[in-house]
Chains A and B, each alone.
Chain A
Amino acid sequence: MKWIKIEKKDFNRGLSALAKAYRLLGPVKKEKAHAFEALNEGQTPDFDFFNTHLSPKFLVQPQSEILFEYSLDEGKEDHHILKEIQKDLLPRLVVGIRPCDAAALLLVRRNFDASKYRDPFWVGAYESLTLFGLACGAPCATCFCTTAGGGPFNEAGLDALLVDAGDYFLVRPITEKGEGALKTAGWENAVDEKTALDIVTLLKTAAESRITSTVETDHLKNQSTVALYDAPFWEDVSFSCINCGTCTYVCPTCWCFDIQDECFGYSGVRMRNWDSCMYPLFTLHGSGHNPRGTKLHRVRQRFMHKLKYYVDKYDDGIQCVGCGRCIQSCPVNIDIRKVCKLMNSHPDPSTVCPV
C-alpha cells in the first residue's frame, strides 16, 4: 500500500499545478457554513470543517440542469424538435470531499448507471470528477457512518485519500485516476509504508472511537415490506413533520428529480430540478388521486425507500451514509437513527401473540 507525504507548505504549489489540468473544487467557508465551490487561482480549500451544509451531490446532479433546447418558431425547419446541448464535461477535481459524501455518490450511481438505462447527464458528470477525499479527524455528534456501511477513513468512491497528520498530509492513491492526478500535482514523495500506516491507523482508530452514534440495520432485510409499511409507528414518526423537504435537499443520497419545460418567447429548454418525496405534487395524478396523499404516506416513503426498498432492491446496505445532515437540519427534530431503530426492531406480526 503506497503512501505519499505532502508537507502542508507545499500543498498550494501542488494545487496550482493541478489547476492547470483540472477545474478545482473544494470546501470554502461561507457566512454560516462551509460549501463546495470552485477554487480560484491560489485559493486554498478550507479543511477546518465538519460536514458542508449541502452535500456535494450537486456536482453530479445540479439542483437545476438543462437537458435539451428547442425552438417553437414554426419558421425554423427543426421547430418543436428537442436538441441535445453541449455539456461541459472538462475534468474536475474535488479536494477535500468527505468519505461519506463520496460513498453516497456510489449509492446514487446504482440509480443512474443501471443495466437497462444509463443517465448520460449523471454518468457524464460523475465520470468527469476526480475525488480527493479528506479523512474525518473530528466527526460530528450526529455522524453515524461507521454503522451505515462506511467510516471516517473509508476509501469507497474516492480516487485518493488525504489524511491530515499535523504538519503534513499522508495521501494514499486509490485509483489510476487518483495516481495520475497526484503525479500532475507533483506529489510523489513516497514514504515508508509501515511508518505511514502506523500513523494513519492511530488517527483512524481515534476518529472512529469519537463516533458514538449508531444505527441498527441487521434485521431490515428480513422484515416484511408490508408489515413495516403497515407498522403503527408511522403516525408518531410523521406527526411533527411539516413536509418542508429540507431532509431530502441536504441528503447526499436523495436523487429524486422533476422534469419541466421552460420557454421564453420562441426558445425553450427542457430541464430537470431536484424534487422531493415530501411534496404532495410529487405523486399527484392528473385525475386528482394521490397515492401518497398524506404526510404520513410521504414520511413513510422517505424512510422506507432509504432503509427497506433500497436494501431489498440492491440486496445491500441502507441508502444512507450516516452524514447526519438530515438530523442537524430537520426543523422538528425527526431523527433517522430513531426511525431506523423502530424499523429494525419491528416485531413480525405473525410472531406476536394477540392480546
Chain B
Amino acid sequence: MFNPYLPYPVRIAEIITETEDKNLKTFKFVFLNPEDEEKFSYTPGQFAELSIAGKGEIPIGIASSPTEKGFILFTINKVGLVTNHLHAMKVGDIMGIRGPLGNWYPWELMEGKNVVIIGGGFAFTTLRSSIVYMLHPDNRLKFKEIHVIYGARSPGMLLYREELAAWERRDDIHMHITVDATKDPGWKYNVGFVPTITEKKAPQGDENTYGIICGPPIMIKFTQPVLDKLGYSHDHIIMSLENRMKCGIGMCGRCNIGKEFVCKDGPVFTLSQLSAMPKEY
C-alpha cells in the first residue's frame, strides 16, 4: 500500500537568501532518486511537507513551477523549530519532501481569462509558481491579460527580485510592484499598500477576470473591499489559506475550517466558498 507519510529523500542543491532581514531563504531541492521527481507531479498552488529527520515536518507552498524541471523550490520564513533548523542547514544536506498536497489554483477555469495576481510579503511563493507557469511558452497563450500586484514592506523585503525585474521588462505581463515605504532614490516602482495599488492598477472585475490573493490577513482584509468595488464576484476571487498541519492528507484533524480540511480540500478556496464556512482561520 502506498504510504502517504513517507517522504521522498532530497538533497539541498542551493540556498538563496532572499530578503535583507535574512529571514527568508529559498531552498532548491533535487530528488535523490530521479524517479521520485515524476511521482512528485504538481500543479501551481499546491504545497508539500518538508521533512527533517529528528526535527519534524512543515507544510510549505511550492515556489517552483512544474515547467521547471530537475528541481523544486521552496521559500521559507524562519519561524519555529523546523524552519530555524532548516535555515542552519547547508548545501548537500539530506532531508525529505512529502507531497504534492492539497488542491491548486483553478487553471482549467482560468483558461482564456484575465488573471490578476495580488500578493503581499512572503506569501508570494505559490504566486511565483503560477507566474512562471503562465509565462511558459506552452501556457502563455492559454491566458489573456496577466496583472501582478506585489507588495512588501521595503525593496529589500521583496522576494525573487531579479525575476521581478525581468518580468517588468516583458510586454506580456503587467507588473505593479510596490513597497510600503522607501528612502531609496533609485526606487522606480510604486509606493503604497497593496489595497491602494490594487484600486489604482487592477483591471475591472468581470466574468472573464479572476483574482488570486495571497498575503497577510491585514492585506486581505483591506483588499477584499477594493475588489468588491472593482466588481469582482466572490466566485472569481481565489484565496489560499494556511493552518497548522501535521498529516497534510486530511486525517490528523487540526486544520479544518468547518467540514473542510485546509490540507486536503484546500488550501485554495474561492471567497464564496469561504463565506459559507465558519470564520475560524
The chain A residues found within 8 Å of chain B, CB to CB, are 67-68, 70, 72, 79-82, 84, 111-112, 114, 116-121, 123-124, 225-226, 229-230, 255-261, 263, 268, 270, 272, 275, 277, 282-287, 291-292, 297, 301, 304-305, 308-310, 312-313
For A123, A256, A260, A277, the residue with the greatest tally of chain B CB atoms inside 10 Å of its CB is A256
Tell me the smallest distance from the CB of A314 to a CB of chain B, in Å: 9
Give the chain A neighbours of B258 by CB distance below 8 A.
225, 229, 304, 309
Could you tell me the dominant secondary structure of chain A's interface residues? mixed
Is B3 touching A84 in the complex (CB atoms < 8 A)?
A: yes
**Which chain B residues in 84-110 approach chain A with CB under 8 Å?**
93-96
Q: CA–CA, A121 to B2, complex, Å?
A: 11
Pairwise interchain contact B254-A259, C-beta atoms closer than 8 A: no
Chain B residues bordering chain A, tally (CB within 8 A): 45
**A282, B256: Cα distance in complex, Å:** 11
Do A277 and B254 have beta carbons less than 8 Å apart? yes
| Contacts between chains A and B (CB distance < 8 A), count | 139
B6 touches A84 (CB 8 A): yes
| Interface pair A260/B53, CB less than 8 Å apart | no
**Do A259 and B57 touch (CB < 8 A)?**
yes
- Is B259 touching A225 in the complex (CB atoms < 8 A)? yes
Ranked 4 nearest A-B pairs via Cβ = A256-B253, A286-B79, A309-B259, A229-B278
Question: How far is B244's CA from A275's CA once the two chains are assembled, in angstroms?
Answer: 13
Residues of A within 8 A of B276 (CB): 225-226
Q: Does B148 contact A (CB under 8 A)?
A: no
User: Once the chains are docked, how many angstroms separate the CA of A287 from the CA of B52?
Assistant: 20
Q: Which residues of A contact B7 (CB under 8 A)?
A: 82
Residue in contact with A259 in the complex, picked from B242, B252, B277, CB distance below 8 Å: B252
**B246 A257 Cβ-Cβ under 8 A:** yes
Given A80-B95, A226-B277, A292-B280: A120 and B57 interface contact (C-beta under 8 Å): no
Residues of chain B contacted by A304 (CB below 8 angstroms): 258, 278
Q: Is the CB of A80 within 8 A of B277?
A: no
- Interfacial chain B residues near A120, Cβ < 8 Å: 1-5
Residue B43 at the chain A interface, CB threshold 8 Å: no
A-B CB contact pairs (8 Å), 19 listed = A72-B53, A72-B54, A81-B53, A82-B7, A111-B253, A120-B1, A124-B1, A225-B276, A226-B278, A259-B246, A263-B54, A282-B244, A283-B255, A285-B244, A292-B280, A297-B280, A304-B258, A304-B278, A309-B259
